[in-house]
């Protein structure tokens, strides 16, 4: 198995686990209420919320949490427009949460919303 195949397999698994936590079709306002910036780290907290520029997501990694890079990648893979992106920081293991990983650390979940502010896709990023 090549490095790219392994990375893609792990990404699919991690994202499938994230979708169990963030139900597709949820509203953006529900997610903003669930993950305020002041929320406890162990419950998850919002790091960023971004709106797609009129000209589209920029090609370069110019946003603090690479929101534009992952949103643009999702658009290219799925053919759908990502209008909003929320980045949520979640603990990985070490808590009583439903996140299924015994190794302590951090996930960043990228929540992608359409123009109707409905969750259409999730990307889970391994941070440490």
SS3 content of the chain, % helix, strand, coil (to 5): 30, 25, 40
Full domain range(s) for residue 106: 3-126
33 token code pair:
């209420």
How many domains, in total, are found in the chain?
A: 1
Q: Choose among 90, 114, 86: nearest CA to 25.
A: 114
Task: Decide if pLDDT at 117 tops 80.
Answer: yes
Tens of pLDDT, residue by residue over 74-112, are: 999 999 999 999 999 988 764 444 555 556 788 899 999
The pLDDT value given to residue 93: 66
Q: Read off the tokens for 16.
A: 């499938």
Give residue 23's pLDDT band: very low, low, confident or very high (50, 70, 90). Answer: very high
Picking from 58, 31, 27, the residue whose alpha carbon sits closest to that of residue 47 is 31
Judge whether residue 122 has pLDDT over 60: yes
Please give the model's pTM, rounded to 2 decimal places: 0.84
Q: Is 125 helix (H, G, I), strand (E, B) or coil?
A: strand
**Does residue 17 carry a pLDDT above 50?**
yes
pLDDT at 95: 45
48-80 tens-digit pLDDT: 999 999 999 999 877 889 999 999 999 999 999
């Amino acid at each position: 198995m090549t490095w790219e195949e392994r990375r893609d397999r792990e990404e699919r698994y991690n994202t499938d686990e994230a979708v169990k936590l963030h139900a597709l079709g949820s509203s953006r306002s529900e997610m903003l209420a669930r993950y305020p910036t002041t929320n406890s780290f162990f419950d998850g907290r919002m790091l960023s919320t971004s709106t797609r520029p009129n000209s589209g997501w920029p090609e370069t990694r110019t946003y603090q949490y690479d929101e534009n890079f992952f949103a643009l990648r999702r658009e290219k893979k799925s053919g759908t427009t990502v209008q909003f992106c929320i980045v949520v920081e979640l603990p990985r293991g070490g808590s009583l949460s439903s996140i299924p990983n015994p190794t302590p650390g951090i996930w960043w979940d990228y929540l992608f919303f359409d123009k109707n502010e409905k969750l259409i896709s999730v990307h889970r990023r391994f941070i440490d």
